[in-house]
Amino acid sequence: MTRQIPSPNDGCPECAEVGTLNRRRFLQALGVTGAAVAATPALSARAAYAAGAYSGPILLVISLRGGMDGLSLVPPVGDPDYARKRPNIAIPTATAIPTGNPTFGLHPALAPLKPLWNDGRLAFVHAVGSPDASRSHFSATDELDRAAPGTSIRTGWLDRVLGVAGTGTTFEAVALGTGGVPRLMSGPNEALGLASLATFKLQSLDWVGPRLTTALRALHDNANLPHASAATATLAALDTAASVVTNHGSPRNGAVYPKNSALGAALADAAALIRANVGLQALAVDVGDWDMHSGLGNRGEGAFAVKAGDIAASLAAFATDLGDAFNRVTVVTLSEFGRRVQENGSGGVDHGYGNAVLLAGGGLVGTKVHGTWPTLADAKLDHGDLAGTTDFRNVLGEYLVKRAGLTTSQLGTVFPGVTPSFVGAFR
């Protein structure tokens, strides 16, 4: 989003035009590929790197766009209404991965995550809902990312987190995979969107690139121009990204990310950024194509199994790649809504409400499905859907308080109007 730089000469139309130059426009003018920036434009060159400035927990939000079916991800195999209402697509008890809780199993495609489950670094929260009950992709996604219903606040919730706890460095918040900055990061604080680390560079011929960088750095060195600091910070960020690729880009510990996986590629870059210690505090990755009105899968096979398997294999590789550093990370999956309890006539499920959230990484009360299960009995459903007994903001809020150290007052800034009520998923 555009942020204006105050003009040093209010009476000069030309200066006013220059005053609207921000770091996003500077990136475009340079021909930087693979990046979009939503940030305060007047950054210092020092802030662009600031190695070692942040060593606390890192939040990785994976947004499952389209409405992921939590009743397939964490099937309530012990609920008698589950198989009755999904006679063709319910995960059988014998096929589901046991959780130790007779009510729940895990989708068999999550098998690569079993080691994390066994060592307490994987958990789920079931029957999670949002204040938006519209079942509309557009409305529900907007409310999920804004997380401030009933207010005029337009910033993303993760941007507000950075506003109260951010480090102010260019790489404090990074969105990977699409090259854009997602709605949950929109606002006045730092957010850098990369298609990939490898493509975050000046668009030029190989032999021109180094000369162009040198010329641009000399041009803006001590220059008394409104956009000089933005230019310097951008060039420093490009240097940092190149250094991360060169020195930290190769997977470690024998990690093998799934081939042709956009999520796997994004998480490989995420691991490299974490190893490089560039002040990373929050990551966002979008994974689409969860809107499975048809062909969801026949008892554990099909489209859902493919998508869930990609999530599992990518996260397993990410954990292996990071080794002990994975304990700094908390992975949270969010989706705008769940799916109907009753299967439809096309082997799928339509838009619903309550959903499941996957949690992975350090600081968890793991090996457990958290939350209050409302059951799938007809009288307990929300207009035919799984009810939401836990507000998704309380899942995130518990992380922010227990792991990131936010105060109750700061949490109120991030999620206005929410009375904290935690499910006990974090230590």
DSSP for 348-390, please give it.
S--B-S-EEEEEEESSB--SSEES----S-GGGSBTTB----E
Q: Are 294 and 348 in contact (CB under 8 A)?
A: yes
Query: 154 Cβ partners below 8 Å, 6+ apart?
Result: 146, 186
Pick the more confident residue, 43 or 392: 392
Tokens in use for 380?
A: 């307990």
Lowest mean pLDDT among 113-127, 193-207, 320-334: 193-207
- Distances 78 to 10, 61, 335, 362, 375 between C-alpha atoms, Å: 69, 29, 24, 29, 10
The pairing of beta strand 191-194 with beta strand 173-176 = parallel
Torsion of CA 148, 152, 157, 161, to 10 degrees: -110
**Entry pTM:** 0.87
Pick the more confident residue, 202 or 350: 350
Q: Is the pLDDT of residue 114 over 90?
A: yes
Torsion of CA 86, 87, 91, 93, to 10 degrees: 120
Confidence label for 352 from pLDDT (cuts 50, 70 and 90): very high
Residue corresponding to tokens 């949950």? 184
Confidence label for 212 from pLDDT (cuts 50, 70 and 90): low
Tokens in use for 287?
A: 């994974």
DSSP 64-90: ETTT--HHHHS--TTSHHHHHH-TTTP
DSSP strands (E only) in 178-281: 191-194, 201-202
The pLDDT assigned to 227 comes to 63
For 234-287, the pLDDT digits (tens) are 778 888 999 999 999 999 999 999 999 999 999 999 999 999 999 999 999 999
For 130-179, the pLDDT digits (tens) are 999 999 999 999 999 999 999 999 999 999 999 999 888 889 999 999 88
Query: If you average pLDDT over residues 60-78, what whole number do you get?
Result: 98
The pLDDT assigned to 405 comes to 96
Query: If you average pLDDT over residues 215-230, what whole number do you get?
Result: 62
